[in-house]
Structure 1
Amino acid sequence: MDNMRERFVSVTSRALDEDPRLALVLAEITMDGFRPSRQRHPERVINVGIREQLLIGVGGGLALTGLRPIMHTFASFLVERPFEQIKLDFGHQGTGGVLVSANASYDWPAGGFTHMAPGDVALLDTLEGWTVHVPGHPDEAEALLRHAYAAGDDKVYVRLSQQSNAAPRPVDGVGLRTVREGGPGAPVVVAVGPLLDNVLAATQGLDVTVLYATTVRPFDDAALRGAVARGTADVVLVEPYLAGTSTAAASEALSEVPHRILGLGVGRSELRRFGTMDEHTAAHGLDPHCLRRRIDAFTRPPARG
């Protein structure tokens, strides 16, 4: 099976052939995969070199001409390094485009902390009007990329990862989908993108409702409210980026319901050993064993004395 980044190349190459409004801006990363597209569409496939601020600036300029720009590099270089350009060239200018990242939070540990971006979604949360897709499988990535490319002049971030669930789920670019339904009053666990399989393994045998999110912004308030029981609600958010990124959004959705929320995700402490992607997942407590312990401890009824 191909990975999400490889699927991005194939889907985008076809989309460039099909839609003359699309333009692709690269900063060296993944350039080899797009050489055939650059030969076919030299005016719409642009490589700016290792200049990430220019990557966003060129994309913003293309948007002002009426094109729909797709801008791509590693997440840390796409969102964090050129954040001012994103804020000004798209937010302030009122233009739209598609940011497509690779390597997510810690997919390439040997790249060091410069190549890790667990805070990307939280950073975009400081800006208005961004849709954020977090696919959990290459097939989902394809569907969400096509959705983003056809989304008029909206501002869209598609967060691709080397991590993947074993099988795809239907996605519509909107909100939460029920994967496992617990009994009346059962706690709700929201699994985001490539962490769904870990969450399902961790909650096997527990009386919980599992919701799956591949579109996290805008947050699906109605689906979360519909999943919790009347009265108090316990909600666990399991996100493949900075822990607690969506706790405020979930709390606002449940503002009229007594609730508790536990936000699980990537910790703030830097892991200074390279290791492997799976070792980083475990170190952040996002493997099935750690998730089981943390979810069970939060949702278990208190013992009576």
Structure 2
Amino acid sequence: MDTMRDRFAPVLSRLLDEDPRVAVVLAEIGADGFTGAQRRHPDRVINVGIREQLLIGAGAGLALAGLRPVVHTFASFLVERPFEQVKLDFGHQGVGGVLVSAAASFDWPAGGFTHMAPGDVALLDTLDGWTVHVPGHPDEAEALLRHAVAAGDDKVYVRLSVQSNAQALPVDGARFHTVREGRGGVVIAVGPMLDNVLAATEGLDLTVLYATTVRPFDGEALRRATEAGVGMGVGADVVLVEPYLAGTSTSAANDALSDIPHRVLGLGVGRAELRRYGQVDEHMAAHGLDARSLRERISGFLGAGALLV
């Protein structure tokens, strides 16, 4: 199966052909995929070289000129390094664009910590008005890329990953998807975490929600999913499993359930730097995101609420 990033250049190249507003801004990374598109649209495929602050500034400038810029590089160079430009050039100037990242949390372990950005979504969460898509399958990535480009002049972040679920699910760029229903608690699986969450919760009396758009956070879906526990007088127990910094969405879940008794456990990538870079699956296990570890952590938190079905 191809990866999410394999879809990026072909999808955007077609969008460049279809929509004269679309422009792509690159900083060397991924430029080879746009050779043909650059020949056809030399004024709308721009490679600024290894200059990430300029990457963001150029994208925002294109937006000021009325175009719909799609800006792409690794997450550490797209969100972390030029964060001031993201904050000012897009946010302060009140323009929109699409930031598309790759290799965020630990997708390229050999690159080391300089090429890892598990805090990217949390960092964007400090800014106002960003929509954040976290697809879990290449088909979902393609759909959400198209959705992001078509989203008027909104500010959108699309987080691509080499990690993938086995099957794609319907995505609409807004709502959580109910994959499994139960009464003992709710587990929200974000993007490529779904398969591990389903394996970890097999046989447990739990609702599993699937989230590919995490900002805005679908608080209504979470509230509906907790109705069974609240109706039984046991309150709402929620576990968030995210492929980035642990706890990134706990405040959003707390806000959604602010008027009812609840507990929230945020699982994700830990803060400690893992200096033996290894492979992606080794990072997953080290952060407790493999299926076995997730089952232990989820069951330990929910206790009797997660009784076997």
Q: Which residue of the other structure, out of 219, 244, 258, is the alignment partner of 2:217? A: 219
Structure 1 residue 301, shift from structure 2 partner: 2.5
In the TM superposition, 1:134-149 aligns within 5 A as 134-149=134-149
- Deviation digits for residues 101-149 of structure 1 (CA, Å, limit 9, x no counterpart): 0012000011000100000000000000000000000000000000000
- Deviation digits for residues 53-88 of structure 1 (CA, Å, limit 9, x no counterpart): 000000010000000000000011000000000000
**Residue 266 in 1 paired to residue 269 in 2?**
yes
TM-score normalised by structure 1 residue count: 0.97
- 3-state DSSP of counterpart to 1:275: coil
- 3-state DSSP of counterpart to 1:300: helix
Q: Which amino acid aligns with 2:256?
A: A
Instruction: Give the Cα–Cα distance (whole angstroms) in 2 for the partners of residues 29 and 202 of structure 1.
Output: 36
Structure 1 residue 92, shift from structure 2 partner: 0.2
Instruction: Give the Cα–Cα distance (whole angstroms) in 2 for the partners of residues 181 and 198 of structure 1.
Output: 17
Q: Which residue of the other structure, out of 190, 196, 199, is the alignment partner of 2:197? A: 199
The equivalent residue for 1:10 is 10
Q: Which amino acid aligns with 1:258?
A: P
Q: Which residue of the other structure, out of 225, 228, 253, is the alignment partner of 2:226? A: 228
**Residue 210 in 1 paired to residue 208 in 2?**
yes
- 3-state DSSP of counterpart to 2:304: coil
- Structure 2 stretches of 5 or more lacking a match? none
Structure 1 residue 274, shift from structure 2 partner: 1.4
Q: Which amino acid aligns with 2:249?
A: S
The equivalent residue for 2:243 is 240
**Residue 300 in 1 paired to residue 298 in 2?**
no
Range that drifts further, 174-183 or 132-141: 174-183
- 3-state DSSP of counterpart to 1:301: helix
- Deviation digits for residues 151-198 of structure 1 (CA, Å, limit 9, x no counterpart): 000000000000000000000000211000013xx2000000001000
Q: Which amino acid aligns with 1:14?
A: R
Instruction: Tell me the C-alpha RMSD between the 2 structures.
Output: 0.8
TM-score normalised by structure 2 residue count: 0.96
Instruction: Give the Cα–Cα distance (whole angstroms) in 1 for the partners of residues 146 and 15 of structure 2.
Output: 8
The equivalent residue for 2:290 is 287
Instruction: Give the Cα–Cα distance (whole angstroms) in 2 for the partners of residues 35 and 53 of structure 1.
Output: 23
Instruction: Give the Cα–Cα distance (whole angstroms) in 2 for the partners of residues 257 and 104 of structure 1.
Output: 35
Runs of 4+ residues deviating >6 angstroms: none
- 3-state DSSP of counterpart to 2:25: strand
- Structure 1 stretches of 5 or more lacking a match? none
Q: Percent identity?
A: 77
Q: Which amino acid aligns with 1:221?
A: G
Structure 1 residue 29, shift from structure 2 partner: 0.4
- 3-state DSSP of counterpart to 2:288: coil
Structure 1 residue 9, shift from structure 2 partner: 1.1
Q: Which amino acid aligns with 1:219?
A: F
Instruction: Give the Cα–Cα distance (whole angstroms) in 1 for the partners of residues 225 and 292 of structure 2.
Output: 25
Instruction: Give the Cα–Cα distance (whole angstroms) in 1 for the partners of residues 192 and 104 of structure 2.
Output: 11
